[in-house]
């Protein structure tokens, strides 16, 4: 506990029997709960965590209780509805079981997924437990031992002192990033960061694949946790969801760590296409959800106008190409050229204005 705020660490783990002990044992003492989500591991991850559950590491300073229903009256019916929804939504998460017999007093909480559901699903399950137990600040670290526990205090402090809603580590801010991070990952990370900037509206973020993050209680309650993307794209998806809710964000410099613990299971070449599609969908969800349904903004019109104009200029561009390649003969396609130039320039201008408005509107969220 810090500043009278409860802190929990969520650790998704899939076949991490070699590293999970180190991860749990090095979590700082000010962390109140360590929520390990065993995502259908086929090795001894569960057994290792169970042994830690009967050790002194499991001693808790004070109990944490689940959220309780608010007594109904004419003024708080909406709060009662939220509590009911919080119970109903449990069926949408990956099937799981809490192993602890005394959740309120144990420091280490072990949750088993009945089958491997993906790292995003494991994080969602951990977040859900923290939400149900009214945790103020939830930090996410991996179970592979590649995140420095000494940096946890820097990650969670802005949440603890009510400065922002979401904090993410950024390895690119470290002076060694250009020489220490593998080139393939650096390039892949840069591509995904650009796409995430556009999709999420957090135009100043980078190193978007970093999963060393902290989230506030209010932010956890503002998004639908069960809709978090199941696989490696979940950090990008969370950013989109948080932006729709106008959550504030900050990036903290962290050290890039490689060659310690297990090798990352993420394959950049396979992840980029699926994440690009996810972010494409996320962009339109954000634009419609934030700038049309919740509150109207002119950038909604400008974005869509640019897309329509780009589509309209395609037939004219095709006719010009056909003329240049000799498929169409006759007089020069002057009309096609003029229409293509007019539509393309108009589309490009609309897109630039929309992006400029988008950047300006979201600047207030980056602190």
pLDDT in tens, 50-70: 999 888 788 877 788 788 877
Q: Please report which confidence band the pLDDT of residue 260 belongs to, taking 50, 70 and 90 as the band edges.
A: low
In the prediction, which pLDDT does 301 show?
97
pLDDT at residue 266 tops 60 = no
Three-class SS of residue 109?
Answer: strand
Which residues are bridge partners to 138 per DSSP? 8, 215
pLDDT digits (tens, 9 = 90+) for 8-58: 999 999 999 999 999 999 999 999 999 999 999 999 999 999 999 888 788
Q: What angle do CA 158, 134, 60 make, to 5 degrees?
A: 90
Number of C-beta neighbours around residue 259 at 10 A = 7
pLDDT at position 75: 77
DSSP string, 219-261: HHHHS-GGGS-SSTTHHHHHHHHHHHTT--EEEEE-----SSS
Distance CA 346, CA 301 (A): 13
pLDDT tens per residue across span 111-170: 999 999 999 999 999 999 999 999 999 999 998 888 888 999 999 999 999 999 999 999
The alpha carbon of residue 87 and the mean position of all alpha carbons in its chain are separated, in whole angstroms, by 23
| Sign of the dihedral defined by the CA atoms of residues 55, 57, 62, 67, in that order | negative
The rounded radius of gyration (Å) of the Cα atoms in the chain is 24
In the 8-state DSSP scheme, what is residue 42?
A: S
What separation in angstroms does the CA of 140 have from each of 23, 119, 123, 323? 12, 11, 8, 57
Give the bridge partners for 89, in sequence order.
none
Question: Using an 8 Å Cβ cutoff, are 179 and 172 in contact?
Answer: no
């Amino acid at each position: 506990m810090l500043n009278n705020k409860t802190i929990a660490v969520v650790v998704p783990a899939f076949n991490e029997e070699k590293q999970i002990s180190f991860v749990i044992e090095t979590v700082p003492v000010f962390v109140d709960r360590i929520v390990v989500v065993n995502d259908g591991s086929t090795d001894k991850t569960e057994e290792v965590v169970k042994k830690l559950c009967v050790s002194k590491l499991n001693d808790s300073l004070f109990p944490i209780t689940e959220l309780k229903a608010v007594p109904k009256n004419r003024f708080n019916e909406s709060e009662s509805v939220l509590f009911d929804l919080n119970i109903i939504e449990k069926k949408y998460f990956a099937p799981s079981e809490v192993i602890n017999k005394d959740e309120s007093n144990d420091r280490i909480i072990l949750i088993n997924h009945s089958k491997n559901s993906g790292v995003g699903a494991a994080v969602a399950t951990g977040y859900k437990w923290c939400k149900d137990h009214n945790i103020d600040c939830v930090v996410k670290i991996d179970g592979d031992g590649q995140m420095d526990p000494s940096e946890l205090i820097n990650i969670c402090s802005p949440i603890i002192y009510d400065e922002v809603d979401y904090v993410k580590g950024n390895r690119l801010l470290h002076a060694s990033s250009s020489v220490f991070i593998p080139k393939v990952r650096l390039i892949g990370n840069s591509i995904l960061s650009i796409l995430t900037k556009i999709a999420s509206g957090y135009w100043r973020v980078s190193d978007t694949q970093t999963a060393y993050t902290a989230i506030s209680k209010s932010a956890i309650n503002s998004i639908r946790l069960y809709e978090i993307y199941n696989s490696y794209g979940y950090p990008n998806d969370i950013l989109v969801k948080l932006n729709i809710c106008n959550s504030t964000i900050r990036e903290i410099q962290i050290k890039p760590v490689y060659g310690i613990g297990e090798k990352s299971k993420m394959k950049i070449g396979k992840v980029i296409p699926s994440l690009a599609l996810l972010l494409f969908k996320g962009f339109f969800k954000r634009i419609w959800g934030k700038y049309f349904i919740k509150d109207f903004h002119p950038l909604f019109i400008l974005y869509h106008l640019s897309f329509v104009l780009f589509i309209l200029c395609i037939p004219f561009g095709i006719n010009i190409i056909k003329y240049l390649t000799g498929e169409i003969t006759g007089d020069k396609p002057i009309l096609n050229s003029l229409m293509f130039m007019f539509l393309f320039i108009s589309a490009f201008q609309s897109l630039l204005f929309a992006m400029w408005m988008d950047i300006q509107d979201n600047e207030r969220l980056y602190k």
